[in-house]
Every structure is written in structure tokens, then in C-alpha cells.
Structure 1
Amino acid sequence: MANKLDPMDLKQILTLHLEGYSNRKIGSVLGISRNTVNTYMQLFAGSDYSCQELLGLDTPALSELFSSHTTLDPVRHNELMLYFEGVNKARNHPGFTFLYHYQQYVELAAEPYSYTQFLEHFRRKYPKEKGSMKLQHVAGEEMFIDFAGKKLQIIDKQTGEIAPVEVFVAILPCSQYTYVQACMSQKREDMLSCCANALRFYSGSPKAIVSDNLKSAVNRSSKYEADVNRSFKDFARHYNCVINPTRSYSPQDKALVENAVHLVYQRIYYPLREMTFFSLEDLNREIALLLERYNNLLFKRKESSRIELFQSIERQYLKELPRDSYEMKDYKRAKVQKMGYAYFSPDKCYYSVPYRYIGKETMIHYTRSRVEIFYNHERIALHQRNLNKGSYITNTDHLSSTHKFYSEWSPEFFRKKASPHGEYVLACIEKVLASQDYPEISYKRSLGIIQLNRSYGSERLNNACKRALATDSCSYLRIKNILKNNMDRLPLFDDQVEPIKPHIPLHSNIRGASAYE
């Protein structure tokens, strides 16, 4: 009993005692210590009045009768209060526990209080102003995530420079199964990578991920409807869950992960305090070993460990993970140019889109390996990402018929086009293709020659090409003039014109040239 009771409380004790209540039951009903009830019952028994007589006394008389009594030792109590000042200052230090400071207090104090009284006096001196609510957590419902306030560090082997690293903590609140990973920053890439690793660690995804109002997670915080950034929303969609940010300045919304961070300080930070690490991989390897021990520790009241609770209760309620791991996406706006390409500024490249979207404003979603182009939330193009600056990445299906025809130009293309019109047309096209060092010129001439069949037909074009080959003048204008002037209908001199016959008939009396030798 630290202080004397109010006289009205003394009358309540007397009333309950006379009604047959035990000292323990009286303490429970009145909300006071059983030892305090025992002490007062001894005082009542040692007084000159019976319990009925004490109950009949008025309040001032009862107060005067028991005014001088207190079990509080002022010297002992003041010693404890002075010690609490140092304890209160150390409360925010990583790894703080009351048990550690109580053990120090026992060594220093001549007559120490018990551990329960130590805690009771501390809570009286530094009471919590706000109440809190005990939340019931459903298995597989949520995963809480947070970054620890204190950082670990790695050392660069070459320069000796010390680099601070962040520590990511995730917890499933029903089983309190915990995941811990060190990463270089709290940026979006690292945060999403840690979340993906946590889901793989749990071998499933919950219905919701509860995050703090990190810049990498939330564009604009709100008490009622936070603005989650696009990448985090896409991450949640990939893993078939939702994002539920906590209220601003309300750590009680995710008290379990806050508590998990403090336990991480004790179970992981403290054992690592004298170790030196030269890479993030080495640090995470050691964290994984300590984390396994931590998850295997038995709860005092539940008589089971975190991993046992996870395996027996929570794992079956998690959703199955998708086959493909998540690739973080970024976003850029781009207008489709007249050529039918969207300019992708991060790589300074051009990606084709269907020609009907020329002039439209699009949104480019890109990862490390691919580029997706969307118009009005509908994907209109998908390309493998090309890191060569200035490249034009084309899908021929995106081109208009005219552009597609032009893009297919090649020597083999024109040979196939010429072959159905006859062997001389093909031979003529071969000659045209071989005559120019710059292919575009020969392509246009070949196209002109082949398209003459539209006006004159394949047979006449083949004959015209035969005449052009005979005179070694395989040009578009020459063949066009042959057809225009109907020269393709005239016979060639070398094989179709009959030989000239002499007007003098052969006779034995006529001497030939040999007679004059």
C-alpha cells in the first residue's frame, strides 16, 4: 500500500468484510491491492472498535482514526523516483527493456521493490494519457510493413567508407510471423523489392498491405483516403491484394509492426552490434539466421512460436502468389508522332503504335525489360525494351498498308513481285537492282517497271522487257516508251526477221567469188 485510502474506501472495505467477502475478493471488487486490504484489516483488528462500530463512525472521525497510517517509505520511494528519471530518458533508445533497468536498480538499491511494484510505480509517475483498443486480427487478412527508425551499416572494402542501410520489417499480425531485410534506401524500387521478398518469404499474399505514409508508398496522405502511388497500386494488383495506408501520425494503427521493430532492435540489432559487414548480401545472410531464431522463440502465454502459429493457423488463408515475379513500372506521357512512333525519353528511343493513334496522347508503362503503350487505359502496343539510343523499334502490324508495303522493300521482295509477269521482267528487274549502289533508287525504278502491267498486261510487259534487254537499256522510261509506241509488238531482228533472198537464181553457169581468186 503506497498511500492511505479515502475514508469512504475504508467503509466499503468494512461493509464487504461484514458481508463475508474474503480479502482477495474485496481487493478485486474495489480495484485495490490485496496486500492493502490485508494491512487495513490488521489495523481494524488492532483498534479499540469492532468492525460494526467502525462502520458507524462518521467520515471525519474515521479519517482522524486512520490518518497517520501509511506503508510508504519516503527514502526508499524517493530513491526509486530519482532512478526513474534516467529510465524515462532511455525509453526511446533501441533495445530498451524495463527488465534490464530493473536488474540495474536491484544492484544499486539497498531495499529494492519487486518487479511488479517497480512497473506499477513507473506507470503512476509516467501515466499514458491515451487509451488504446485491443484489435482482433484475422488470419491472412493483413501484412503490416514499416522501416526501422535506426539504421545498420556496411563498409566499403576499397575506401573504408561507412554506408548506412535501411531495415525493412514486415509482420503478419495474427501469427506475428516476422520478416526482416536490409536495403540501401526507402525509395520506391527498394520498398517494392522488399515487399515482394516478404510475400515470397510467407509463400502467399494477404488481402491487404498496411503501410505507413512513406513517400515511396503514398503521394498524399489523408485521414480517410490516402493517394497511393501508381507503382504501389500496380504491385498490389499483381499480387491480388489492396493497399491500406494508416492515418497520419497514428502509429497505433499498426502497433504490432511498431512493436516488431522494437523486438528487432533487441533480437537482431543488438547481436549485430560488434559485427562488421562489407556487403548487403553478407548482412542479410546474418539477419536471416537471427530472424529464424527469433521466429522460433516460444510465446510465454501461447506456448507456441511465431512460425508454429503461422504454419498451423495463418498460412492456409494466404492467397497463392502469381507465377511471375513483379517488375517495377515507371510511367511517361508521349504524343504519337506523324510517323506513327511514340518517343520514349528515358532511352531516347522511338516505339511504334498502330497508325490510327497518330496525334493521340498516350501513357507509356515501362519496366527493365519491356515497354507498354496505353491509350485511354487500353494497351495499344507492347515492345521489348531497347537500350540503344536513337533506335526505332517497329512492329509491322502497326503500319498502315502504304507504310507496310514500303517497309517490306528489298531485292527479294521485288524479285517475287516480278516473277509472275515473265522471265524477261524478272531478268530486267535483276539488272536494275544490280545497277545501283544506293538501293532506294533501284527499288523505285523496279516498282515503276512492275506496275506497268496494270496498263499493258503481263504479256506485253514481258515482251517489252525482252526488247529492252536486247538493246541493254533496262530503264523505266525505255520500257514505258516501248509499250507506249507498241514497239513490243514488232519482231526482233535477230530471231524473227526472215533472211533476205537474192533476186538471181542459182545456176551452174554463174561464177561465184571463188572464180576471181
Structure 2
Amino acid sequence: MANTLDPMDLKQIITLHLDGYSNRKIGTSLSISRNTVNTYIRLFKGSDYTFKELLSLDTAGLETLFSSHTTITNERYDALMRYFEGMNKARDHPGFTFLYHYDEYARSAKQAYGYTQFMEHYRRKYAKIKGSMKLEHDPGKELFIDYAGKKLHIVDKQTGEVVPVEVFVAILPNSQYTYVEACKSQKREDLIGSCENALRFYGGVPKAIVSDNLKAAVTRSSKYEAQINRSFKDFARHHNCVINPARGYSPQDKALVENAVHLAYQRIYYPLREMTFFSLEDLNLEMKRLLKHYNNLLFKRKEASRLELFQSVEREYLKPLPTTRYELKEYRRAKVQKIGYVYFSPDKNYYSVPYRYIGKETGIHYTKSSVEVYYNHQRIALHPRNPSKGAYTTNKEHLSSTHKFYSDWSPEFFKNKAIPHGSHVAACVGQIIAGVDYPEIGYKRAMGVIQLHRSYGSQRLDNACKRALQADAVSYKRIQNILKNNLDQSSLFFQDLEEDEPHIPEHQNIRGASNYK
């Protein structure tokens, strides 16, 4: 026998035999020659023990029963196996070749095997059994997507430059109904746009989209748990499906779309080889015509076309499309300012959020038409996007009661607030607001004047404002002093303000200004 077996190997053979494995399958599972397994099975059957009794024996008992078959004394073979053990440690080293190691082995061995036998024994010892499983595809379950390796080209009319373009391919594996389009690049926005167009072409949504490990689709690739790009994941959420990237270096996971790419070379690329296109629209128009013919070709074995199989079987399993097309989302982060707004850096403007989130770090999700603000994955604000630089977009529901009051401040607002207290109050308020360059300062002073009615009443406030206007002394502080010192009620003060003549009488002992030159 070619292989060296110990009692533990024998117990494994017995266990697998009792489990119903064939001799060939036992040999494959344990990497033992089928002939060796056949020999031992015959010996087991010819012994005085049943298989279960043999399995219950200890190691020493089995070695005693089958000692002549547990080891081999072949120095030549043993030397080769020892050499393989050292050689195999360098198997993954760059530049490794079997021929190099065979030459080394042949120089050192007393009775070397030939190169063919050398390789045969190595493959037996380190057999790698790989199989390819035929995948069954349920209708409407998956959509495979990929980009063709070879690019098409369009010509720039202005410069004559030949511009390469990518070719996106999608296929429903059950019916093999195929979609192909040309696009500018493999970037995220182009990938999502092509996927959107493919789903519109099919008129429905599968349960999962199986993509390659493209940078636009996968942020971090992994054989078992890939990290999906955030925008692509949001696209899937919008369409009520999931993204399932194929395993890296496992093209068999999406063999049908790989085959569809090759068929696209034959059915679409080749007929376009002598045509010149000056825009993506023209190229896609011609590709659409060729694609229609391709999907109508009959399968020889199924006696139906891809389109017929899609219409009769797969279409009814697709989920309905959302009512609106997906808008690509971008993401930013921003802290809520003390005034209750977040700064939106792409447009350099501001959007309000509820005042209780002041000081919190938020995430901003935005599209061409809207801006959403999130805190701890909960949306706290939604605004139509405002492209104006420096603009403040406000939802009054977000403001506190104080902020809401302040947000209504304007010259008209203060005029309306002042009129109930008298015309002179309204005149003072208007003059105060008009007399400052920064409106908010004037608003605060005007509000201070109006609030004086709480302490002194509207009548006295109106009188005080009248005297301030006559004295050309309109300010919050002066009006407050008139009221505080009761000057609005002093008849002498009123008379002095109303008379143009000085209150000091003419007298001969009074010297004029000439005496002071």
C-alpha cells in the first residue's frame, strides 16, 4: 500500500464506512488511495469482528490485528515524503517552482524518483479537491451586475478626441434577460444611475443586487462580510432590496454575468466595431437596438428567448418599483450653532433645526433638491435645498418661543406694537430704528421704549415721547430719564420746551457775549 496508515486512520475508515460512505468517498475524504481503502475494508470484513466491535477496540488492539498493514518500510518513499514536508513550507514563496526543488531533490537522494513520479506523489500527498457547484437561480431573487473589461469609445466633436466609456451589464439569472448601457465611468454616481436605469428597464426590483467588489459599490471588501458604500446601500433601501457583493476572487459566484459580458462582446461590440459615435446618447440608442435583438434570440435547449422567459416566468416575481426615482445622496457633518442652525458647507448657507439640539453634532444628508439633518440616526429636520450663499432657511416650528418672537422683528412689527400706546411713541420708535446702521440694535432699543408702558402706562409714555421729539432727544435712555424724573408731568418743563424765548428776563446788569471776548 502506498500510504502509511496508523490505527487512528483505520478507525476513521471504519467510522465513514458505518456512516454509509463508499470506498471512493472515504478515500477522497481522508486523502487515502481508493485501493488502500478497498484493501482494508476486505481485511475488516474477513476478520472475526464486526465493524462496530473493531471501532470499540483500542489503538493497541487494532495495531495487533492489522500490524502487517499499518506501516510500510520503504526508505526511498520515506525520504521523498520528508523532502516534501520541507519543500511545501516554501510553497507560497515568490519564485517557487517544482522543477527547482526536483533538481535539488535529485542531487541529494540516493535513488531519486523521476520528475513525473515526483509530481504524482506530491499531488497525492497534498491533494486539493476543488469543485464547482451548479447554482440554481430562483426567479426574481437576484440581479447580477458588472462592467465589461473592454471599453467602447465616443469622439468629441469639438476636439476630435477619442473618449473611452465604460459598459455596464446587468442580468436576471433565471431568465438571463440582459441589460447593457454605456456610461462615463465606474464612479458611484454612474454605477447608481446605471442600476436605476436597469431596474426601470426590467420594470421591477429583485430581492438582491449582486455586484462585483467595485470601489463604487464596496467600501471595504471581504470574503464574508463586505462593507457596502453608504450611497449604494441607501439606493437599495429606496428600492426595498439588498446589496450582496460577490466574494473576492470568486467569479463563479456571478458566472452568468461574466458570460453575459462575453456575449455582449459578440452581439453588441462586434456590430459596433466600424461605427463612430459623438455622444453617449447616440451610442446607447444603437446599443438598445442591438440589445433588443439579442434578448429575442432563442435558446436552443429551452426553445424560448430571454424576453419570453422573463415575461412568462420571472417578471411576476419582481417587486414593484418605487414611485419616485432615486436621488443620489451626499453626506456632511455639522455642529448645531447657538442660534439653532447648522452650517451647510457645500452651499455656504444655514438650515434650522429644533432648538433642543443646540451644541449637538449632527449628520447632513443632501440631494439636489433637499437637505436632511440627522441626530443619532433620527431625522430632526428636512428642508428644500436653497442654493443662495449666506441664506438662512428657517422652519419656525424649530424655534423656541423666544426665538419665534425675535424672528418676527421688523420695522413694521415695531410700528404696529407702538401705535396702541400713542402716535408719539410710534414716531419715536420709527426714528430710533431709522437712526442706526444695524437693524437689530434699533429693534432692541425700540422694544425697550415700548416696554416702558408697563411701568409708567401708555399715556405717560406718549407724553414723554412727545417731549423727547420736541427736544430732539429721542433715545431709550432719555425717554426713560424723562419718565423717571417725572419731567413728562412738569408744567415748567413743558412751558420751557414749548416757548422759543429764553426763560431768563432781560436786565441791564446782565452782560452780553461781547464782554467775554
* Smaller-chain TM-score bracket: 0.5 to 0.7
Match of 1:229 in 2: 229
SS for the counterpart of 1:291 is helix
Describe how 1:470-481 pairs up with structure 2 within 5 A: 470-481=470-481
Describe how 1:214-253 pairs up with structure 2 within 5 A: 214-253=214-253
How far is the alpha carbon of 1:318 from its aligned partner? 1.2
Output the CA distance in 2 between the equivalents of 1:438 and 1:361. Answer: 31
SS for the counterpart of 1:139 is coil
Cα 1:389–1:480 change in 2 (3 A) is: closer
Describe how 1:297-316 pairs up with structure 2 within 5 A: 297-316=297-316
SS for the counterpart of 2:425 is helix
SS for the counterpart of 1:138 is coil
Match of 2:461 in 1: 461
Match of 1:80 in 2: none
Match of 2:367 in 1: 367
Gaps of 5+ in 1: 1-128, 497-517
Counterpart of 2:203, as a letter, is S
SS for the counterpart of 2:146 is strand
Match of 1:156 in 2: 156
How far is the alpha carbon of 1:461 from its aligned partner? 1.9
SS for the counterpart of 2:149 is coil
Describe how 1:252-271 pairs up with structure 2 within 5 A: 252-271=252-271
Describe how 1:107-122 pairs up with structure 2 within 5 A: none
Output the CA distance in 2 between the equivalents of 1:468 and 1:149. Answer: 85
Range moving further from structure 2, 273-282 or 374-383: 374-383
SS for the counterpart of 2:455 is helix
Match of 2:187 in 1: 187
What do the CA deviations read for 1:149-200 (whole angstroms, capped 9, x no partner)? 1111111112111111110011111111111010011111100000000011
Output the CA distance in 1 between the equivalents of 2:428 and 2:394. Answer: 32
Match of 1:414 in 2: 414
Counterpart of 1:269, as a letter, is Y
What do the CA deviations read for 1:89-120 (whole angstroms, capped 9, x no partner)? xxxxxxxxxxxxxxxxxxxxxxxxxxxxxxxx
Output the CA distance in 2 between the equivalents of 1:474 and 1:367. Answer: 51
Cα 1:438–1:344 change in 2 (3 A) is: closer
Match of 1:291 in 2: 291
Cα 1:478–1:344 change in 2 (3 A) is: closer
Counterpart of 1:271, as a letter, is P
How far is the alpha carbon of 1:338 from its aligned partner? 3.3
Match of 1:107 in 2: none
Please tell me the root mean square deviation across aligned C-alpha atoms, in Å: 2.5
SS for the counterpart of 2:197 is helix
Cα 1:212–1:322 change in 2 (3 A) is: same
Counterpart of 2:237, as a letter, is R
How far is the alpha carbon of 1:131 from its aligned partner? 3.8
Q: Does 1:334 align with 2:347?
A: no
How far is the alpha carbon of 1:211 from its aligned partner? 0.8
Describe how 1:49-64 pairs up with structure 2 within 5 A: none
Cα 1:283–1:343 change in 2 (3 A) is: same
Describe how 1:358-507 pairs up with structure 2 within 5 A: 358-436=358-436, 438-489=438-489
How far is the alpha carbon of 1:409 from its aligned partner? 2.2
Counterpart of 1:300, as a letter, is K
Output the CA distance in 2 between the equivalents of 1:480 and 1:451. Answer: 10
Counterpart of 1:365, as a letter, is H
Describe how 1:47-86 pairs up with structure 2 within 5 A: none
How far is the alpha carbon of 1:317 from its aligned partner? 1.6
How far is the alpha carbon of 1:392 from its aligned partner? 4.2
Counterpart of 1:289, as a letter, is R
Counterpart of 1:229, as a letter, is N
How far is the alpha carbon of 1:238 from its aligned partner? 0.1
TM-score by length of 1: 0.66
What do the CA deviations read for 1:115-152 (whole angstroms, capped 9, x no partner)? xxxxxxxxxxxxxx954322222221111111111111
What do the CA deviations read for 1:179-231 (whole angstroms, capped 9, x no partner)? 10100111111000000000111111111111111111111222222111111
How far is the alpha carbon of 1:464 from its aligned partner? 2.7
Counterpart of 2:148, as a letter, is A
How far is the alpha carbon of 1:284 from its aligned partner? 0.5
Counterpart of 1:168, as a letter, is F
Counterpart of 2:423, as a letter, is E
Output the CA distance in 2 between the equivalents of 1:225 and 1:331. Answer: 23
SS for the counterpart of 2:359 is coil
TM-score by length of 2: 0.66
Cα 1:131–1:400 change in 2 (3 A) is: same
Counterpart of 1:358, as a letter, is I
How far is the alpha carbon of 1:385 from its aligned partner? 2.9
Match of 1:282 in 2: 282
How far is the alpha carbon of 1:453 from its aligned partner? 1.6
Match of 1:343 in 2: 343
- The percentage of counterpart residues that share the same residue type is 74
SS for the counterpart of 2:134 is coil
Counterpart of 1:343, as a letter, is Y
Range moving further from structure 2, 178-187 or 374-383: 374-383
Counterpart of 1:244, as a letter, is N
Output the CA distance in 1 between the equivalents of 2:442 and 2:357. Answer: 33
SS for the counterpart of 1:343 is strand
How far is the alpha carbon of 1:243 from its aligned partner? 0.8
How far is the alpha carbon of 1:386 from its aligned partner? 3.6
How far is the alpha carbon of 1:469 from its aligned partner? 4.0
Output the CA distance in 2 between the equivalents of 1:397 and 1:326. Answer: 28
How far is the alpha carbon of 1:444 from its aligned partner? 2.8
Describe how 1:25-104 pairs up with structure 2 within 5 A: none
SS for the counterpart of 1:144 is strand
Output the CA distance in 1 between the equivalents of 2:282 and 2:430. Answer: 66
Range moving further from structure 2, 277-286 or 396-405: 396-405
Output the CA distance in 2 between the equivalents of 1:253 and 1:280. Answer: 31
Output the CA distance in 2 between the equivalents of 1:319 and 1:423. Answer: 70
Cα 1:392–1:217 change in 2 (3 A) is: same
Counterpart of 1:328, as a letter, is L
Output the CA distance in 2 between the equivalents of 1:168 and 1:443. Answer: 61
Output the CA distance in 1 between the equivalents of 2:312 and 2:376. Answer: 46
Output the CA distance in 2 between the equivalents of 1:437 and 1:132. Answer: 80
Gaps of 5+ in 2: 1-128, 499-517
Match of 1:209 in 2: 209
SS for the counterpart of 1:200 is helix
Cα 1:442–1:172 change in 2 (3 A) is: same
How far is the alpha carbon of 1:349 from its aligned partner? 3.4
Output the CA distance in 2 between the equivalents of 1:358 and 1:418. Answer: 33
What do the CA deviations read for 1:400-451 (whole angstroms, capped 9, x no partner)? 4444433432101111221232333223323433444553443232111101
